[in-house]
Structure 1
Amino acid sequence: MHAALNRAEDFCRRIGMQVPILLAPMAGACPVALSAAVAAGGGMGACGALLMQPEEITGWATAMRARSNGGFQMNLWIPDPAPTRDAEQEATLRAFLSDWGPTPAADAPDAPQPDFDAQCAAMLDAGPTAISSIMGVYPPDMVTEMKQRGILWFATVTTVAEARAAQAAGADVIVAQGMEAGGHRGAFRAEDAAISLVGLFSLLPAVVDAVDVPVVATGGIADARGVGAALILGASAVQIGTGFLRAPEAGTAPAWADALAVSAPEETIATRTFSGRLGRALRTPYVEAAEAGPDPAPYPVQRALTGPMRAQAAKSGDLAAMQAWAGQSAARTSDEPAARIVARLWQETQTLLT
């Protein structure tokens, strides 16, 4: 028990935190207010920059520093190869989605994606404590630039093989993501996401034994029991996403937040029906229908096609068609202010482990 606490405290000293709890970098769900609150509690804030233009990345970092002197990480997906398009499949999906929201435009998937290299440059210039990756590893020149600037690289992995590859590529910290996690699976290859569904309790000690760098545990952690278990299994810290979505600073839609509070683990599902990439969400009516409906298009085509439905549901508060990401421990979340969640989780964890 003491070894687990000592490991966590050593990690905090190295990273510049007071508490070994990190906010997960959730794209579209990491407002500055939430990150600043997590940092105020002694943890680390986060920005999921996937959908952000370079100037938005710069603006987020500036706003964060105006509200907090705490550390934060910024995160990007490593781009997939260009998807293979199927006009007939997309037409079928457009007809199906018209039953759940506005009919998607045929050219919706043609919209350009943010420029990855420009996003990377903006993150480097923002100078966060760490830059994290998901869906793969950064190219060598990006890794070299991070190290030259003293920015840590946190690499998200879902298997032992990915952990070894990330360490070999120069990762400073490995983030081991169990299948319990809400939101997108971090598998390096999209086709592996559904066939390598490893739970955190199996993944974490295996990754800890396989690498020589600190490991952060994420996926299904929402209370002190989960934090304590992760530390005992060898983690140096934990990363929490769903566990902060009910905090007032998150700004989560009320219908989504309320559903999290009462959702059993089996009431979530790993699905490709929102973005084309596998992610864990609540079993809403749309998800159930889409799972039985036409095969989803690859990412980011599916994301573009579901965009009008998701936007309408978010505006109207309609949970049935909302993109309601959720980890399997959703019901153990709290609606307390985020700083209080961080402080309480760590206090209760210390009590459990001493």
Structure 2
Amino acid sequence: MFRRRRVLMASPLTDLGVEIPVLAAPMAGSPTTPELVIAAAGAGGLGFLAGGYKTVEALGEQIARARSADVGFGVNLFAPNPVPVDPGAFRAFARAIAPEGRAYGLDTTQTRIVEDDDHWADKIDLLLSCPVPVVSFTFGIPDPAVIAAFRAAGTLVVQTVTSPVEARAAAEAGVDVLAVQASAAGGHSGTWTPQRTPRAVPLPDLLRAVRKEVSVPLVAAGGIATPDTMTEALAAGAAAVMVGTVLLRADEAGTSAPYRAALADPARRQTVVTRAFTGRPARALRNDFTDRYSDLAPDGYPALHHLTSPMRSAAAASNDPERINLWAGTGYRHATAEPAAQILHRLVSRV
């Protein structure tokens, strides 16, 4: 039986009742559920609801479910940082992937270009009108006035950064905590300059480089899937770690059946960083779609996300792992099918 210990380094997170230095990352789409967030809190950690791609109404419902459990939790939003797609490049890519869409009765060549901000203003209004304990931002940094408004509302502000330069800018903007994301992380890179794929800097090295620039508390993310990688991150200056990939097969996760099966498939031996699904760099398990289209995909977020989304949804419903975004970090082999609390407890077993 795991006995909780107060092992979290003193930081703003301890004021929220977080007892172990491991947080459940927000995984947009289906993987992060309120049940996963509640399980992370029950284990002594903290979970983040993923606000990305949800309507304001759907996000509000998930917040209500987390609140009903009377636990601490956070909400993550995608800060607007669009990369407008070149229309000619978009049309060329839509034609290139047309055979994949036709497999599900979809015609990608007729898809219009959608450049939206993921309901940014409405989600900010939602979180300020009924504040949550923690809010985190990814893809870009909000206006300092937005950060100040959340802090005035009593909400802890966490900002994802991928470099010392971003870290310094975020600290100067007034955030409370930095989530330092290395390139080993699964899913989208939080880089503020998505036209350039971030360098593959080991997480401990990135943490030390960021620590030289800022004094705010750091949460480490990217490739953490074992007790050893966790202790390395803490030794490099992190107050806590944030994990996502290792929770994808957890009982409480909403990960689709083909996605779960792919993570456990011994034939899948590699992750790749690709723009093929969304027009923004993201790490995923290699599959047929990444093999065929990674070199063809233009920069263009969120336009490419909207282009491929219907195909990905249809593929998931059809148990087809070759046309879905199998987001996964380098530690995907350690994703296990068991309760989230057991996964998190194992990670802190050597702390």
- Give the TM-score of the pair, scaled to structure 1: 0.90
Aligned match for 2:255, one of 252, 255, 274:
252
- 2:270 is matched with which residue? 267
Is the counterpart of residue 138 in structure 1 residue 142 in structure 2?
Answer: yes
- 1:94 is matched with which residue? 94
Which sections of structure 2, spanning at least 5 residues, go unmatched?
Answer: none
Whole-angstrom CA distance in 1 between matches of 2:261 and 2:82: 37
- 2:152 is matched with which residue? 148
The alpha-carbon distance between structure 1 residues 271 and 167, as it changes in their structure 2 partners (threshold 3 A), is: same
Is the counterpart of residue 339 in structure 1 residue 345 in structure 2?
Answer: no
The alpha-carbon distance between structure 1 residues 255 and 153, as it changes in their structure 2 partners (threshold 3 A), is: same
| Deviation of the 1:322 alpha carbon | 1.1
The amino acid across from 1:60 in the alignment is Q
The amino acid across from 2:84 in the alignment is P
Q: Contact 1:272 / 1:279 at 8 angstroms: preserved in 2? A: yes
Whole-angstrom CA distance in 2 between matches of 1:307 and 1:109: 13
| Deviation of the 1:85 alpha carbon | 3.6
| Deviation of the 1:327 alpha carbon | 0.2
Q: Secondary structure at the match of 1:120?
A: helix
Whole-angstrom CA distance in 2 between matches of 1:264 and 1:154: 37
- 2:60 is matched with which residue? 58
Q: Secondary structure at the match of 2:280?
A: coil
The amino acid across from 1:338 in the alignment is A
Q: Deviations over 1:54-77 (max 9, x none)?
A: 2222211101112x2221111112
| Deviation of the 1:195 alpha carbon | 4.5
| Deviation of the 1:90 alpha carbon | 2.8
| Deviation of the 1:173 alpha carbon | 0.4
The alpha-carbon distance between structure 1 residues 103 and 156, as it changes in their structure 2 partners (threshold 3 A), is: same
Whole-angstrom CA distance in 2 between matches of 1:105 and 1:73: 39
Q: Contact 1:310 / 1:322 at 8 angstroms: preserved in 2? A: yes
Aligned match for 2:164, one of 125, 149, 160:
160
Task: Say how many residue pairs are matched.
Answer: 341
Q: Secondary structure at the match of 2:108?
A: coil
Give 1:1-354 correspondences, 5 Å limit.
8-11=8-11, 12-28=13-29, 29-66=31-68, 68-81=69-82, 83-86=84-87, 88-101=88-101, 102-104=106-108, 106-110=110-114, 112-192=116-196, 194-262=197-265, 267-292=270-295, 294-346=296-348, 348-350=349-351
| Deviation of the 1:81 alpha carbon | 4.1
The alpha-carbon distance between structure 1 residues 160 and 264, as it changes in their structure 2 partners (threshold 3 A), is: farther
Q: Which has the larger displacement, 280-289 or 263-272?
A: 263-272
Q: Which has the larger displacement, 295-304 or 222-231?
A: 295-304
Whole-angstrom CA distance in 2 between matches of 1:32 and 1:124: 20
Whole-angstrom CA distance in 2 between matches of 1:211 and 1:112: 33
Whole-angstrom CA distance in 1 between matches of 2:268 and 2:199: 19
Whole-angstrom CA distance in 2 between matches of 1:264 and 1:65: 41
Q: Deviations over 1:74-116 (max 9, x none)?
A: 1112212461441x33332222222112222624433755321
The alpha-carbon distance between structure 1 residues 295 and 340, as it changes in their structure 2 partners (threshold 3 A), is: closer
Q: Secondary structure at the match of 2:39?
A: helix
The alpha-carbon distance between structure 1 residues 126 and 257, as it changes in their structure 2 partners (threshold 3 A), is: farther
Q: Secondary structure at the match of 1:273?
A: coil
| Deviation of the 1:296 alpha carbon | 2.7
Q: Deviations over 1:316-343 (max 9, x none)?
A: 1111111110000100222110122122
Q: Secondary structure at the match of 2:220?
A: strand
Q: Secondary structure at the match of 1:349?
A: coil
The amino acid across from 2:98 in the alignment is S
Q: Deviations over 1:180-226 (max 9, x none)?
A: 0000001112223x143422121011112321111000000011111
Q: Contact 2:179 / 2:220 at 8 angstroms: preserved in 1? A: yes
- Give the TM-score of the pair, scaled to structure 2: 0.91
The amino acid across from 1:94 in the alignment is A
Q: Contact 2:53 / 2:118 at 8 angstroms: preserved in 1? A: yes
The amino acid across from 1:274 in the alignment is F
Q: Aligned-residue CA RMSD in angstroms? A: 2.1
The alpha-carbon distance between structure 1 residues 237 and 195, as it changes in their structure 2 partners (threshold 3 A), is: closer
The alpha-carbon distance between structure 1 residues 21 and 126, as it changes in their structure 2 partners (threshold 3 A), is: farther
Whole-angstrom CA distance in 1 between matches of 2:345 and 2:55: 33
Q: Contact 1:246 / 1:333 at 8 angstroms: preserved in 2? A: yes
The alpha-carbon distance between structure 1 residues 265 and 229, as it changes in their structure 2 partners (threshold 3 A), is: farther
